[in-house]
Structure 1
């Protein structure tokens, strides 16, 4: 199983500086990293920082969290099939909501091969002090990136005085009390802090296989496998019974009277069923907050 880190943060927050330094640290430790880099422009400016010896997949002219989700899955599959690497880093665009980014990474096709260690958000501390000047949409995204982080870098601390530094940390801690907040300059983060993030995946079949989920990992995922079929109505009734902290479900559900599991997707309270013409494994991935103890359909 390969460890995966999602790097989140606004454009100019210091994500690329952090990526460059983290890649150096992984190499010095003897680990081989791979990178998926999501950029909104046509030219891969940031990819020059990765280095020729690091397997790299790029997402140009698109967001990892929207129409690019399928491309992201294809890129991860390609890396798993063709490249030898130990750890995967996915750098999202500044426009990516953490839930959307995590959703794009998870696919029932390879979820068992990946161990999402967590979302590392780089926040511009100076921008935090000026957040009221942002448009409501941009400010909301900025706050959401911080709220869902598992490790939070309060970056550019060298541009603030002591009083401002204290204000930033206090307010960010109030917004996300579960994350470890590191005050940084130039996005420097010790590798041991990344590696100490607990696994955010939980696998379950008829019986939930309990795993240690770190307290700091509010936003997490759960892989659910099925060993018998349901009617669509039964499955949708279960989905409607779930708490609002479940944001996404996607995967393949075995339906009575249908020979192959159907593709199922759930987001924002809406469900979608699509026929699948290949016999896919009957499993789904659930993404949300504090979902490890949710009752799974079929469990007694």
Structure 2
């Protein structure tokens, strides 16, 4: 049977960083991982990053949530991974930040391959800084954030380097009060050993819950911004800083003046990150949040 690990967590928490680290560790162990990624919009930004890893079977679920309307597509993509790759050892499923983790688990239980998949559990990446300021989130979004933690089997209290030891102690205590069964690991850049995850979930005696009705109809939406000309980097960052708190996540490729290739740009919870690209990517940016329908880049 093929082991399946579900990677959960809110937008911008560090799930893709965790995914990339687990892929590297599995390859070092001589195992062949495969990946199913659920992108919130129609553009596969994170999938492009994972796709650069050599010989990693990859399927995508775009423009839909793995946990509800996308469940049939999820089944088809998993079936494709299994049929096209007979030698895979582990499937890593990264859910969109809008997915309820138990509904996502429910979507991957199928009679088509029930005898071929061993669902190991849910690893949730929690943004420690966002946890401390969760009251700023809308009630529905805050509820989802907490549900993702409540139903985890392992929790990474990520971005620990952004907080003091005292604040991290508060985060750990409060999260443990919400989920007393899951071990909590304080991490930077979602750095954790796959062996630890494997051993911890292997000892788990709590059966996986298979259904729960919540986390649906969230007011999140995505918007695609396309750039026709390069931007001034400083001016662009000023625009990002002016955005409302209801913009939770941005990711994509932003063309910058006097730079040959667009930068990989990521934004989460007030923090921006620019990474140089060595191949020319389409200059487009996916924005995820609430009430962003009229959002435009004005310059």
TM-score, length-scaled by structure 2: 0.68
172, 176, 179: which one pairs with 1:176?
Answer: 179
Query: 2: distance between equivalents of 1:129 and 1:77?
Result: 40
Tell me, yes or no, if structure 1 residue 34 matches structure 2 residue 29. no
Secondary structure of the residue aligned to 2:115 is: helix
| Displacement after TM superposition at 1:145 (Å) | 0.2
Could you tell me which residue of structure 2 aligns to residue 188 of structure 1? 191
126, 137, 143: which one pairs with 2:140?
Answer: 137
Q: Is the 8 A contact 1:11 1:93 kept in 2?
A: yes
CA separation of 1:2 and 1:37: change in aligned 2, threshold 3 A: same
What's the Cα RMSD here? 1.6
Could you tell me which residue of structure 2 aligns to residue 82 of structure 1? 84
Matches within 5 A, 1:51-130: 51-83=53-85, 84-130=87-133
Query: Which 5+ residue runs of structure 1 have no aligned equivalent?
Result: 200-212, 222-246, 249-266, 269-300
Query: 1: distance between equivalents of 2:107 and 2:129?
Result: 30
Query: 2: distance between equivalents of 1:87 and 1:183?
Result: 24
Query: 2: distance between equivalents of 1:147 and 1:26?
Result: 27
| Displacement after TM superposition at 1:119 (Å) | 0.2
Greater Cα shift, 44-53 or 81-90: 44-53
Q: Is the 8 A contact 1:178 1:218 kept in 2?
A: no
Query: 2: distance between equivalents of 1:96 and 1:179?
Result: 19
**Matched pairs, number:** 211
1:57-107 per-residue CA deviation (whole Å, 9 max, x = no partner) reads 001111111111001101111111111311000000000001110011110
Tell me, yes or no, if structure 1 residue 214 matches structure 2 residue 204. yes
Could you tell me which residue of structure 1 aligns to residue 45 of structure 2? 45
Could you tell me which residue of structure 2 aligns to residue 12 of structure 1? 12
Greater Cα shift, 61-70 or 48-57: 48-57
Secondary structure of the residue aligned to 1:112 is: coil
| Displacement after TM superposition at 1:218 (Å) | 5.5
Query: 1: distance between equivalents of 2:11 and 2:137?
Result: 14
TM-score, length-scaled by structure 1: 0.68
| Relative contact order, higher structure (CA 8 A, sep 6+) | 2
Query: 1: distance between equivalents of 2:191 and 2:107?
Result: 26
Larger radius of gyration: 1
Q: Is the 8 A contact 1:122 1:152 kept in 2?
A: yes
